[in-house]
Each structure stands twice: as C-alpha cells, then as structure tokens.
Amino acid sequence: MGLNKKTVRDIELKGKRVVMRVDFNVPVKEGKIKDDTRIQAALPTIKYVLDKGASLVLLSHLGRPDGEVKPEFSLKPTADALAKLLGKEVKFAPDCIGENIVAMAKALKPGEIMVCENTRFHKEEDMKAKTDEDKKKMQGFAAELAKLGDVFVNDAFGTAHRAHGSTALICKFIPISVAGFLMEKEIQYLGQTVENPKRPFIAIIGGAKISGKLEVLTSLISKCDAILIGGGMAYTFLKAQGHNIGKSLCEDELVDTAKQILAEAKSKNVTFLLPTDNLAADKFDNAAQIQTVGNDIPDGWMALDVGPKTVAAYTAEILKAKTIVWNGPMGCFEMPNFAKATMAICKAVADASDKGAISVIGGGDSVSAVNQSGLAGKMSHISTGGGASLEFLEGKKLPGVFALNDL
Ligand code: AMP
C-alpha cells in the first residue's frame, strides 16, 4: 500500500502561502536542543516548498504544556536551529494564532520562513473534547490556524495518530491539504511492511508493558510468521504460563489476556517466542547484584533483561527473516548492565538488514537504543513516530493522514 493522498509534489506551490505541520518535538534542556533528528527529518519538505517559491509557516508542538504558556516548552530554540541548518533567516512568531501572527504570516515573501510558537500553549489544540461546546472550541482554533496559509502540508508523522487542531482539524478550513515527504516515506515503508511483507515476517516486541501494545500484538499475530517478546511485558506472559516471576514487572489484570494471546498465536501457527533465561537483579539499579536465571525468577528479585540463551534464539530467528518490525527494548537498556540483550538484537537486526531484510524500527525507546548501538545507518527505516507507527501497524486510520486530499 502506498500513500493514496496527494503530496507536495502534486500541487502548484509557486506564490502560495504554505502552512506546514512539522514534528519539532525535540528534547530541549535549558534552551539547548539535545537531539535535532526530527528537525533534520523535516528538511527535505521545507527546502522543497521554499525552492518552489512559496512562503512557509511551520506549526508544531513541543512536550506537554497542557494548554498553558510555559517557557521551557518554547519552540524558539527550534527556529534558531533551523536557521543554522538552512543557512538563512527563520522568523519566529510568539504565538500560533491571532491577528498579529496572521499579519506576520502574510508579510512573508516567497522563499521566506517562520516558525510559530507551540500549538499546545492553547488547550484547544489537544483537548479531549467530550461536549459539543469543546468540539466547537477545537474547530474554532483550527479555523484560526488555517488563516496562516492557503495550502496545508502535514509532515508530522509522529502526531498523525492524533486528531488535533494542527494535525487534522485544520484540513476542514483549508481547501488544499497534502502530505510532505517524511509523511509519505513513513506511510510507504510501514504500508509495504504490513501489506505485502517478504517472508519470513517477524516482529520483535518489547518495552515496559503489554497494555500499550495489546492491539498491535493481536494485529501482528494475523500477519507475522514469528513474534519475539522481550522487555517488561515478557513477565506477564511468563506468569500466564505459571512461572514465578518474583518482583518483575507484571500487569496482573492482563494475565488472562496474555493467555488468550498465547492461545491465538498457537491456533494461527505463529511462532511466539518468550525468553528462556533472564538477568535478575536484587534492585532496580545499574549497580544491583545480578544473576542469570531461567524463567522462574527468585523471590525478591526482578528480571531487568533477557539472558544470553534467549538472545541466541532470537538472533537465529532474526537472521532468517526477510521483514522485521521492532518496537520496544528487550530490557532496561538505559542502565548499561541491562542493555546487553537490546544491543545484541540491534546487531542481529543490522546483520539481517545487511543480508537484504527490510527492517523497520518504531517507538522512541527502540529508536534511541538503535542510535546508542551506532547501527542506525544499517536499518531500512527508523520511524519518527512511536505511537503513530504502532497505530498504523494495528491497521487503524491515522486522522492526520485521513484528513488530507485524496489522490
Ligand atoms: P515502552 O515505552 O513500552 O516501549 O517501554 C520502554 C521502557 O521499558 C524502557 O524505559 C525500558 O527501561 C523498560 N523496560 C524494558 N524491559 C524492562 C523490564 N524487564 N522491567 C522493567 N522495565 C523494562
């Protein structure tokens, strides 16, 4: 499945006033950007729009300011970083709606660019609208945003699963709404991966909890040849199999669901791999005492990583695969003593990619693990959207994509 929506390539941009949603939700500490990957990822579309002779207003959120103006969530540092990357002036608007801001947008000449302040400084951007009045407020905000341009471009895959003012609702108030290159690339990769995977197609699913990944697990069982489970979520599965998991992370209310997932995988003939050994720690600390144990974790101990036998079994499965989706680390990789399995899986996925497998990494933590491993360049596609990539893989329609003009 490709993207059945128009992109910036399909429309006339010369002399147009483009308003574009980007994902500049970068980590900022004391006004300094710690990682500019997301700004870099938006550059191809930004440059294209400017080169075609349009003026450009950029909208984004940063963090969760909860509808209040909080200086630590200002997008000003991203405007400065973008100016450096583009080697040209980037104006900064101190808000994203209002007469003055619209006037600033209208004053931009072709080829000029402006970043607006955080859309989430307005609660109408991302409120959970329950009443009609709330919905009207959100629509009103989106209509105000729409005054910033005459063409809307959405290049923020990371927020495409949210029906927010600047991601989806704005499309109702602008006649032309199209996707940017990053959005197009994400949808193409993820679409290809799930619709027409080269087999064997395997999914590596880890991370803290089953709860956030139940739907994706269910959806992947009907598509994959094998599913490899790691991370904290593995221990709810092990408990479902009757193991003693000590103090390991467990969602007791999901033990029955875990049993159902195991039964479903079996009935669909999907290889469903759980750990066979684990690194157990006496406390949640990098300096904890560690012992390698099987699937029964001693009382008072907690499993914080999967063990070497598990890594060997998973590696063998990964090296056979032709398509690999990975979401979620195998252990608490932020602590070096519990990062070994996650790093070994990075290496295995990189090796499989070298042999021609398609590898798609989604989810903030798996992406940072891959970056930490130094093997990011080996992966076929590193998704900029954790939640969005999961919802896409679940087969859900992403509101920020759905609202764009059809081809
Ligand atoms: P998620 O956001 O669901 O992908 O979860 C990522 C987080 O899961 C990371 O911060 C890991 O430290 C954490 N995690 C991975 N394995 C474990 C584990 N065995 N016990 C507790 N937390 C874990």
Nearest CA to ligand 1 atom 13: 208
Contact status, residue 73 vs residue 25, Cβ threshold 8 Å: no
Please give the radius of gyration of the chain, using alpha carbons only, rounded to the nearest integer.
23
Question: Following CA atoms 142, 143, 146, 152 in sequence, which dihedral angle do they give, to the nearest 10 degrees?
Answer: 60
Cβ burial 363-402 (10 Å sphere, 16+ → b, else e): bbbbbebbebbebbebbbbbbbbbbbbbbbbbeeebbbbe
Please indicate, yes or no, if residue 192 is contained in any of the structural domains: no
167 lies in the same domain as 257: no
153 lies in the same domain as 84: yes
217 lies in the same domain as 358: yes
Give me the residue label for tokens 């990539």: 389
Please indicate, yes or no, if residue 256 is contained in any of the structural domains: yes
66 lies in the same domain as 157: yes
CB atoms within 10 A of CB 199: 11
Please indicate, yes or no, if residue 190 is contained in any of the structural domains: no
Q: In 3D, which of 74, 118, 77, 67 has the Cα closest to residue 97?
A: 118
Question: How many angstroms is it from 337 CA to the middle of ligand 1?
Answer: 14
Nearest CA to ligand 1 atom 18: 232
Question: How many angstroms is it from 91 CA to the middle of ligand 1?
Answer: 40
- Residues with a CB atom less than 6 Å from ligand 1: 207-209, 212, 231-232, 249, 303-304, 328-329, 331-332, 334, 363, 365
Question: How many angstroms is it from 365 CA to the middle of ligand 1?
Answer: 8
Nearest CA to ligand 1 atom 6: 207
Specify the pLDDT at position 3.
76
Please indicate, yes or no, if residue 366 is contained in any of the structural domains: yes
Question: How many angstroms is it from 162 CA to the middle of ligand 1?
Answer: 24
242 lies in the same domain as 297: yes
Query: Which of 161, 184, 207 is at the close of a domain?
Result: 184
H/E stretch holding 382: strand 381-382
Query: Which of 184, 207, 224 is at the close of a domain?
Result: 184
Q: In 3D, which of 65, 73, 254, 60 has the Cα closest to residue 167?
A: 60
Please indicate, yes or no, if residue 292 is contained in any of the structural domains: yes
Euclidean distance between CA atoms 236 and 256, whole angstroms: 9
Question: How many angstroms is it from 343 CA to the middle of ligand 1?
Answer: 14
Please indicate, yes or no, if residue 94 is contained in any of the structural domains: yes
Q: Which amino acid is residue 219, in one-letter code?
A: S
Catalytic entry in 76, 123, 209, 378: 209
Here the tokens at position 247 are 């103090």
Contact status, residue 23 vs residue 156, Cβ threshold 8 Å: yes
Specify the pLDDT at position 2.
64
Best residue among 235, 311, 365 to mutate for probing ligand 1, ranked by most atoms within 8 Å of CB: 365
Parallel/antiparallel/unpaired status of strands 226-229 and 358-362: unpaired
Best residue among 249, 283, 325, 326 to mutate for probing ligand 1, ranked by most atoms within 8 Å of CB: 249
Beta strands in 6-163 (DSSP E): 17-21, 28-29, 32-33, 55-59, 91-93, 113-116, 151-154
Active site annotation includes 209:
yes
Catalytic entry in 123, 364, 378, 396: 364
168 lies in the same domain as 221: no
Q: What CATH number did the domain enclosing 363 receive? A: 3.40.50.1260
166 lies in the same domain as 242: no
220 lies in the same domain as 317: yes
Please indicate, yes or no, if residue 282 is contained in any of the structural domains: yes
Active site annotation includes 387:
yes
Parallel/antiparallel/unpaired status of strands 201-205 and 226-229: parallel
Q: Peptide bond before 200: cis, by omega within 30 degrees of 0?
A: yes
Ligand 1, closest atom to CA 327? 4
Euclidean distance between CA atoms 213 and 261, whole angstroms: 12
Best residue among 290, 332, 393 to mutate for probing ligand 1, ranked by most atoms within 8 Å of CB: 332
Q: Which amino acid is residue 33, in one-letter code?
A: I
Euclidean distance between CA atoms 196 and 319, whole angstroms: 20
Overall number of domains in the chain: 2
Active site annotation includes 212:
no
88 lies in the same domain as 233: no
172 lies in the same domain as 201: no
Question: How many angstroms is it from 283 CA to the middle of ligand 1?
Answer: 15
- The domain containing residue 220 runs over which residues? 197-393
249 lies in the same domain as 172: no
Euclidean distance between CA atoms 209 and 241, whole angstroms: 17
Please indicate, yes or no, if residue 2 is contained in any of the structural domains: no
Per-residue pLDDT of the chain (407 residues; tens, 9 = 90+): 467 899 999 999 999 999 999 999 998 988 899 888 899 999 999 999 999 999 999 999 999 999 999 999 999 999 999 999 999 999 999 999 999 999 999 999 999 999 999 999 999 999 988 899 999 999 999 999 999 999 999 999 999 999 999 999 999 999 999 999 999 999 988 888 878 899 999 999 999 988 888 888 998 999 999 999 999 999 999 999 999 999 999 999 999 999 999 999 999 999 999 999 999 999 999 999 999 999 999 999 999 999 999 999 999 999 999 999 999 999 999 999 999 999 999 999 999 999 999 999 987 688 889 999 999 999 998 888 888 888 888 888 899 999 999 99
- 3-state class of 109 per DSSP? coil
Here the tokens at position 219 are 């959806």
Contact status, residue 274 vs residue 296, Cβ threshold 8 Å: no
Question: How many angstroms is it from 144 CA to the middle of ligand 1?
Answer: 40
Query: Which of 184, 208, 228 is at the close of a domain?
Result: 184
149 lies in the same domain as 209: no
Catalytic entry in 5, 21, 38, 52: 38
Active site annotation includes 64:
no
